[in-house]
Copies of this chain bind each other. A is one copy, B any other.
Amino acid sequence: MPLPAPPTAYAAGLHILATFAAPAAALRNAAGSQKFFAELVVRLGLTCVGEVYHVFAENAGFTAVLALTESHLSIHTWPEHGLATFDVFLSNFRRDNHATVRRIYQETLGFFAAEERTYAEVLR
């Protein structure tokens, strides 16, 4: 089947923003996170058009941003505080991605063995 036509009006996308607690080892695992997010994006049918991973120092946290054709996701980790800030935003250009946004967040919590500390949704 052909792809559905894009909507004639802008359809707001869901942006989830969270802070979660996780084991320090997971929050230092930039290489493992890179593999996890790369596989997750492909498995969910999204397209990554570029990514940045920056490790601050040995045994320190990392920052990652993935640019997707559907928008982006980012994570910034703080192993010294046992915390990470995470957000994911997908537009609805060709399909409704709300459920995919929620799934990315849940799978991320699982990967990091995380406990949610703050959670917010913004529709925009």
- For A65, give its contact among B18, B69, B74 (CB under 8 Å): B74
Contact-residue bracket for chain A: 35 or more
Question: Chain B's nearest CB lies how many Å from the CB of A49?
Answer: 4
Q: Which residues of B contact A15 (CB under 8 A)?
A: 17, 87
Question: Chain B's nearest CB lies how many Å from the CB of A23?
Answer: 16
Which A residues from 23 to 77 make CB contacts under 8 A with B?
Answer: 49-54, 56, 63-69, 71-72, 74, 76
30 CB contacts below 8 A, A to B, read A9-B81, A10-B78, A10-B83, A12-B19, A12-B118, A13-B85, A15-B17, A17-B17, A17-B124, A18-B124, A49-B52, A50-B54, A52-B52, A54-B67, A63-B67, A63-B68, A63-B72, A64-B67, A65-B65, A65-B66, A65-B67, A71-B74, A71-B76, A71-B85, A74-B74, A74-B89, A85-B91, A85-B124, A87-B87, A87-B89
